C-alpha cells in the first residue's frame, strides 16, 4: 500500500490529510499548497544562485545581529508575499523580521505561521544544503488581524510543521499530526512527489551532531554525555560525528539515517545561555516532526520542547533532538 502511494503529488497528500478531519474547512490545505509554491520558487532561486549573481551579502544584519545574505532576503520576501495574500493566515513571524508581520487587509485567515526562511544561511555560497522551516498554529483571537499572542503558542498546539531542504535534490518533509511524509521535487515538471511515506526515525542511531568546538564552554552534563557517545558500551557506540552546521541538513540526515543533534547552552557568551536555536521557527517545528516520526526533542535540562510556552518571538532554546533511544540516554545526563 505504502509503495503504491509513492509518487503521489504533495497536493494529493495534503488533501488526504484534510480528509482525516471531516470538519476541516480546507484553509490549512490551501495554506500548505501556497507554501509548496513558495518552496518551489526558493528552490529555483537557490539552484540559480551561482549563476544569477545573487550570492554574497546584502550588508544588513537581522535581529540576531547576523549578516543577512541576499538569498535570505529573497526567501523571506517570497514566503511573506505568498502568505500575506493567501487568505489563510492572520499573522506571521520570521527569523529575519524583528516584529510580527501582518497580512494584507481583508485577507486574514484562520492560521499563524512562523518560519525560518533560509536556515543555515552561512552555507549558502559554499553549496551546502540549506532549508526553510515552518510552524503553523490555529489562531487564538476570533477574527481580524492576528497578534503576537496568536503566535506565542506552545509547540504541542501546532497543526502542521515541516521543512523544505534545498540539497542534492529539493525535499519537503511535513506533518499535520498523522505521520511524517517526504516529497522530492522533480524540477523537470515542477512537482513534489511522495518519496518518503510515513517516515520513522531509525532505532539504530549511528550519528551524533554537535559543534564540538564549543566543548570548553559546555556544561559538565553535555561533556559527559558526548564522552559517553564515544565509548563502546552495552552494544552502543562509538557513534560517528556528522556536523554540517545547517540545522535542516543535520536534522534531515538524522531523521532518515538515525542520529541525535544537539545545540546545547554554553558559557561562551550571555547570548548562548539558552543555546542558539530559536524555539518558534526552528526547535518546535522540528520537534513536532521528530515526535511524529517516533523520536524525541528535549532541552538540556530535560524539558519537552513541545511543552515550552513561548514568551517572545525570537527566544532561543537548548535543543537535543533525534532518535528516541539516544534522547532517552541524553535525558539521564541532563536531569
Ligand atoms: P541561521 O538560522 O542564522 O542560519 O543559524 C542557525 C544555524 C543552524 O542551521 C545550525 O545548526 C547552527 O546555526 C550552526 O551554528 P554554529 O556555527 O554555532 O555551530
Ligand atoms: Mg535558522
> What are the structural domains of the chain?
2-196 (3.30.540.10), 207-334 (3.40.190.80)
If you measure from the C-alpha of residue 247 to the centroid of ligand 1, how many angstroms do you get, rounded to a whole number? 6
Measured CA to CA, the distance from residue 107 to residue 138 in angstroms comes to: 15
How many residues are present in the chain? 335
Measured CA to CA, the distance from residue 110 to residue 94 in angstroms comes to: 18
Measured CA to CA, the distance from residue 127 to residue 286 in angstroms comes to: 23
The preferred substitution site among 125, 246, 285 for testing ligand 1, maximizing ligand atoms within 8 Å of CB, is 246
Which residue, judged by its Cα, is nearest atom 6 of ligand 1?
120
Q: Is 116 in the pocket of ligand 1 (CB under 6 A)?
A: yes
Per-residue pLDDT tens digits of the chain, which is 335 residues long: 556 677 899 999 999 888 888 888 889 999 999 999 999 999 998 887 766 555 556 666 667 676 656 888 999 999 999 999 999 999 999 999 999 999 999 999 999 999 999 999 888 878 899 999 999 999 999 999 999 999 999 999 999 999 999 999 999 999 999 999 999 999 999 999 999 999 999 988 889 999 999 999 999 999 999 999 999 987 888 999 999 999 999 999 999 999 999 999 999 988 899 999 999 999 999 999 999 999 999 999 999 999 999 999 999 999 999 999 999 999 999 98
Spacing of C-alpha 298 from chain mean position: 15
If you measure from the C-alpha of residue 246 to the centroid of ligand 1, how many angstroms do you get, rounded to a whole number? 6
| Beta strand ranges found along the chain (DSSP E) | 57-61, 67-69, 89-94, 101-102, 111-119, 130-138, 158-166, 170-175, 180-186, 191-196, 207-209, 240-241, 259-263, 296-298, 319-322
* Cα distances (Å, whole numbers) of residue 327 to 3, 236, 244, 248, 300: 30, 13, 20, 18, 10
22: helix, coil or strand? coil
| Listed residues: CB within 5 A of ion ligand 2 | 116, 119
pLDDT at 270: 87
- Strands 158-166 and 130-138 turn out to be antiparallel
Which residue, judged by its Cα, is nearest atom 17 of ligand 1?
245
Measured CA to CA, the distance from residue 178 to residue 77 in angstroms comes to: 30
Q: What are phi and psi of 114, to 5 degrees?
A: -120, 135
Q: Which three three-digit cell numbers place residue 293?
A: 516520526
Amino acid at each position: 500500500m505504502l509503495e503504491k502511494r509513492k509518487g503521489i503529488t504533495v497536493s494529493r497528500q495534503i488533501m488526504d490529510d484534510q480528509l482525516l478531519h471531516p470538519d476541516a474547512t480546507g484553509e490549512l490545505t490551501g495554506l500548505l499548497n501556497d507554501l509548496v509554491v513558495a518552496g518551489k520558487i526558493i528552490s529555483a532561486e537557490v539552484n540559480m544562485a551561482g549563476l544569477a549573481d545573487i550570492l554574497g551579502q546584502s550588508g544588513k544584519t537581522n535581529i540576531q545581529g547576523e549578516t543577512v545574505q541576499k538569498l535570505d532576503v529573497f526567501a523571506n520576501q517570497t514566503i511573506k508575499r505568498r502568505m500575506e495574500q493567501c487568505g489563510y493566515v492572520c499573522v506571521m513571524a520570521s527569523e529575519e523580521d524583528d516584529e510580527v508581520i501582518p497580512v494584507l487587509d481583508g485577507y486574514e485567515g484562520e492560521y499563524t505561521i512562523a518560519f525560518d526562511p533560509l536556515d543555515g544561511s552561512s552555507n549558502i555560497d559554499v553549496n551546502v544544503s540549506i532549508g526553510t522551516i515552518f510552524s503553523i498554529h490555529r489562531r487564538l483571537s476570533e477574527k481580524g488581524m492576528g497578534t503576537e499572542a496568536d503566535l506565542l503558542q506552545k509547540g504541542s498546539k501546532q497543526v502542521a510543521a515541516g521543512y523544505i531542504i534545498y540539497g542534492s535534490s529539493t525535499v519537503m518533509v511535513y506533518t499535520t499530526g498523522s505521520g511524517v511524509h517526504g516529497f522530492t521535487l522533480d524540477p523537470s515538471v515542477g512537482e513534489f512527489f511522495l518519496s518518503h511515506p510515513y517516515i520513522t526515525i531509525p532505532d539504530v542511531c549511528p550519528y551524533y551532531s554537535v559543534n564540538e568546538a564549543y566543548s570548553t564552554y559546555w556544561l559538565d552534563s553535555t561533556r559527559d554525555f558526548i564522552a559517553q557517545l564515544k565509548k563502546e558500551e552495552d552494544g552502543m557506540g562509538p557513534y560517528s560525528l556528522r556536523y554540517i552546521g545547517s540545522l535542516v541538513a543535520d536534522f534531515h540526515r538524522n531523521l532518515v539515517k538515525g542520529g541525535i543533534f544537539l545545540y546545547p547552552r554554553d558559557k561562551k557568551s550571555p547570548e548562548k545561555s539558552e543555546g542558539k536555536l530559536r524555539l518558534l521557527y526552528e526547535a518546535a517545528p522540528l520537534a513536532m516532526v521528530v515526535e511524529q516520526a517516533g523520536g524525541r526533542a528535549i532541552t538540556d535540562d530535560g524539558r519537552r520542547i513541545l511543552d515550552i510556552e513561548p514568551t517572545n518571538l525570537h527566544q532561543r532554546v537548548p535543543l537535543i533532538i533525534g532518535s528516541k533511544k539516544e534522547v532517552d540516554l541524553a535525558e539521564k545526563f541532563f536531569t
